[in-house]
Amino acid sequence: MERVESRRNENEESTVSGSEAAYSSRRALVRRSSRARVLRPCISYTLFICLLFFSPVLLPSNRAAGKPESVEPQKEPRRIVTIKIAGAEPSGLGIDWEREIKKVRGAASGTYQQDFGIEFKIIKWETWKIDKTAGTMQGLLNDLKKKIAPGEADVVIGVLGPSGPGDSPTGIADYFSAYILLRLGRPGAALPVVIHELGHIFGAVDLDEENTAMNPRNPALKFDPFSARVIGLNKNRSFHTQGFPSPPGSIREVISGYEARASLNRAEPEIPLFLAYLYIETKDYAAATKACLEVLKRNSETPEIQGLLGNLYLAQGRTDEAVAEYRKVIEWNPELPLTHFNLGVAFLQKGEEDKATLEFREAVRLSPNYVEAQAGLAQQLLKKGEVDAALDHVRKALEIFPDFPEGLCILGAALILKESKDRLEEAASVLQKAVALKPGLPEAHSILGVAYGFLGKDEEAEAELLKTLELKPNSLEAHLNLAVLFRKSGRDEKAAFHLGRVAEIDHDFAAKSGFLAADNAGPVKYTVRPEMFRQK
Ligand SMILES: [Zn+2]
């Protein structure tokens, strides 16, 4: 059945790759979107910031709304997975659907509890006002992700009424963001579909095999050994975090299970597709590319794979090819936030700032909960000097995912750019949080150093800027700001040393700034000059 696999970023969205297949009688409609994970090219705000936020990550993000959650230890015998139910409105939910859902939840939970020690608990019921123009299950799933945030729940399940009397139920699921859309059918018929879709949430894929819950046309109530193994390995998957959902310790084993299955050469296109995601996660781009080409060989219409290939090209610096792949995906479906986001990242790599901004804007429009897109747009706005607008977007990102270190860096930079004393205190405090969350992020130290510099805390500023250089010896921002700091405190030799490093790192910049002239002592003020933000 449909599974959408999306990957990080989900933000929402965005990143869905999914195949939606109609359950039962309808012919499977395979739609795939690209779930690219965001590749993150590194972007440097010159004086300050390099958003690692865009460092290469190939799969889509599932941090739609994220509460970071640590993975439970493997030995934990029972895992409780919490669910938010979103009942569609309007959508022909005339039946006593809540009762139906409660019944199905109980039965599905029983199966998962017995086989895997996973228990499902509904913690919230909400109403979801659907976009009636979203014609397909995929379109409705995107609408669900856009409008219903998971909040405290691990999994969101949107529920639609039957499309006609006596219809079979249908579902679609997104592994990365952990969203399921369920269309109810005849009373009592939904159980196999729910078990199947929950299987997708735990890393199982559609199989060309009878008598298994993962058969998309006629799902059984029990799993085959391969799917059971995959689900067991994914039992402690993460929800709404930045990472790949599968527990890091089990990825190799998941890969070997998938490789063994792939060697059977069945008509199971999701196998190489999922393998591609897993290879990307382990940074084996060559194997990932091969897996993508394998899928393309069997299936010509696979925008999802094209999106992934785009990401792989992007990771390898082949930006023109990446742009071409993303454009094909967008032509197929213009409403995929992740693809727009990745296209924006590709434009950034090409130095096409305005085009990048437009794509981030589109990603945010399609998926307001898409944390990376919100932060990416904020970063672009900062570069253009639109500090207030940047603040709005980055605060939105942090509202969804408060412990997002790169987002905190952007917020810190924006607050510094506001140039008011109380904003500086706030900047220092959010940057301290970024440093605590991700001590290896050079930009967090660099921007924090500047905040301290502006606050007159010279010792702390020096320590943070030196820490930046430890992590990133060629940080232009850190050298520039150290030059300012040392000059202010009369340590001219040290200031000259750092200015010399600036000239070595970027001669053109130094020449343009006049820093090469013998009588030029360099910048005199810690600066956040948005016009200098640039990509590196
Ligand atoms: Zn499926």
* DSSP β-bridge partners for residue 74: none
Per-residue pLDDT at 318:
86
371 and 433 in a common domain? no
Here the CATH number for the domain that contains residue 113 is 1.25.40.10
**Among residues 227, 232, 233, 230, which one has the least CA distance to residue 212?**
227
Residue 103 within any structural domain of the chain = yes
Residues 6+ apart with CB under 8 A from 175: 3, 4, 5, 6, 7, 200, 201, 203, 245
Per-residue pLDDT at 245:
86
432 and 326 in a common domain? no
Q: How many other CB atoms sit within 10 Å of the CB of residue 294? A: 18
Please give the distance, rounded to the nearest whole angstrom, from the Cα atom of residue 214 to the centre of ligand 1: 6
Please give the distance, rounded to the nearest whole angstrom, from the Cα atom of residue 431 to the centre of ligand 1: 43
Residue 70 within any structural domain of the chain = yes
Please give the distance, rounded to the nearest whole angstrom, from the Cα atom of residue 235 to the centre of ligand 1: 18
Long-range pairs for 111-114 at CB < 8 Å and ≥24 separation?
111/195, 111/221, 111/222, 112/195, 112/198, 113/78
pLDDT band at 326 (very low <50, low <70, confident <90, very high): very high
Are 413 and 48 in contact by the 8 Å Cβ rule? The answer is yes
Please give the distance, rounded to the nearest whole angstrom, from the Cα atom of residue 2 to the centre of ligand 1: 4
| DSSP sequence for 3-22 | EEEE-SBBTBSS-EEEEB--
Please give the distance, rounded to the nearest whole angstrom, from the Cα atom of residue 131 to the centre of ligand 1: 23
298 and 430 in a common domain? no
Please give the distance, rounded to the nearest whole angstrom, from the Cα atom of residue 3 to the centre of ligand 1: 5
460 and 360 in a common domain? no
Domains in the chain, number: 2
Q: How far apart are CA 156 and CA 285, in angstroms?
A: 31
Mean pLDDT, residues 315-341: 88
Please give the distance, rounded to the nearest whole angstrom, from the Cα atom of residue 64 to the centre of ligand 1: 22
Residue 170 within any structural domain of the chain = yes
Please give the distance, rounded to the nearest whole angstrom, from the Cα atom of residue 74 to the centre of ligand 1: 26
Residue 335 within any structural domain of the chain = yes
pLDDT band at 378 (very low <50, low <70, confident <90, very high): very high
* 139 vs 436: which has the higher pLDDT: 436
Mean pLDDT, residues 504-527: 78
Please give the distance, rounded to the nearest whole angstrom, from the Cα atom of residue 31 to the centre of ligand 1: 12
Please give the distance, rounded to the nearest whole angstrom, from the Cα atom of residue 452 to the centre of ligand 1: 53
Please give the distance, rounded to the nearest whole angstrom, from the Cα atom of residue 330 to the centre of ligand 1: 24
Q: How many other CB atoms sit within 10 Å of the CB of residue 54? A: 24
Question: Does the pLDDT of residue 23 top 50, yes or no?
Answer: no
Please give the distance, rounded to the nearest whole angstrom, from the Cα atom of residue 182 to the centre of ligand 1: 12
Please give the distance, rounded to the nearest whole angstrom, from the Cα atom of residue 206 to the centre of ligand 1: 5
Please give the distance, rounded to the nearest whole angstrom, from the Cα atom of residue 183 to the centre of ligand 1: 14
305 and 177 in a common domain? yes
502 and 432 in a common domain? yes
Residue 249 within any structural domain of the chain = yes
447 and 367 in a common domain? no
Please give the distance, rounded to the nearest whole angstrom, from the Cα atom of residue 440 to the centre of ligand 1: 39
Residue 489 within any structural domain of the chain = yes
Please give the distance, rounded to the nearest whole angstrom, from the Cα atom of residue 119 to the centre of ligand 1: 21
Please give the distance, rounded to the nearest whole angstrom, from the Cα atom of residue 322 to the centre of ligand 1: 28
Please give the distance, rounded to the nearest whole angstrom, from the Cα atom of residue 298 to the centre of ligand 1: 18
457 and 359 in a common domain? no
Please give the distance, rounded to the nearest whole angstrom, from the Cα atom of residue 165 to the centre of ligand 1: 23
357 and 282 in a common domain? yes
- The whole model's pTM is what? 0.64
Mean predicted lDDT score pLDDT of the chain: 81
**Among residues 525, 500, 494, which one has the least CA distance to residue 515?**
500
Range of the domain at 506: 419-535
Residue 485 within any structural domain of the chain = yes
Are 219 and 197 in contact by the 8 Å Cβ rule? The answer is no
**Residue at which a domain ends, from 346, 378, 410:** 378
Question: Does the pLDDT of residue 310 top 80, yes or no?
Answer: yes
225 and 95 in a common domain? yes
Please give the distance, rounded to the nearest whole angstrom, from the Cα atom of residue 175 to the centre of ligand 1: 11
* 241 vs 365: which has the higher pLDDT: 365
334 and 229 in a common domain? yes
Question: Does the pLDDT of residue 277 top 60, yes or no?
Answer: yes
Pairing of strands 43-44, 534-535: antiparallel
Please give the distance, rounded to the nearest whole angstrom, from the Cα atom of residue 269 to the centre of ligand 1: 11
Please give the distance, rounded to the nearest whole angstrom, from the Cα atom of residue 333 to the centre of ligand 1: 20
Per-residue pLDDT at 45:
21
Sheet holding 50-51, edge to edge: 50-51, 43-44, 534-535
Please give the distance, rounded to the nearest whole angstrom, from the Cα atom of residue 205 to the centre of ligand 1: 6
Please give the distance, rounded to the nearest whole angstrom, from the Cα atom of residue 274 to the centre of ligand 1: 13
Are 401 and 65 in contact by the 8 Å Cβ rule? The answer is yes
423 and 308 in a common domain? no
Per-residue pLDDT at 338:
85
Please give the distance, rounded to the nearest whole angstrom, from the Cα atom of residue 408 to the centre of ligand 1: 37
Please give the distance, rounded to the nearest whole angstrom, from the Cα atom of residue 301 to the centre of ligand 1: 18
pLDDT band at 36 (very low <50, low <70, confident <90, very high): very low
Q: What percent of the chain has pLDDT above 90? A: 46
Does a cis peptide bond (omega within 30 degrees of 0) precede residue 272? no
Please give the distance, rounded to the nearest whole angstrom, from the Cα atom of residue 19 to the centre of ligand 1: 8
Q: Dihedral angle at the C-alpha atoms of 193, 196, 201, 202, nearest 10 degrees? A: 160
Please give the distance, rounded to the nearest whole angstrom, from the Cα atom of residue 204 to the centre of ligand 1: 8
Residue 268 within any structural domain of the chain = yes
Per-residue pLDDT at 468:
93
Please give the distance, rounded to the nearest whole angstrom, from the Cα atom of residue 328 to the centre of ligand 1: 25
Please give the distance, rounded to the nearest whole angstrom, from the Cα atom of residue 207 to the centre of ligand 1: 8
Mean pLDDT, residues 442-456: 91
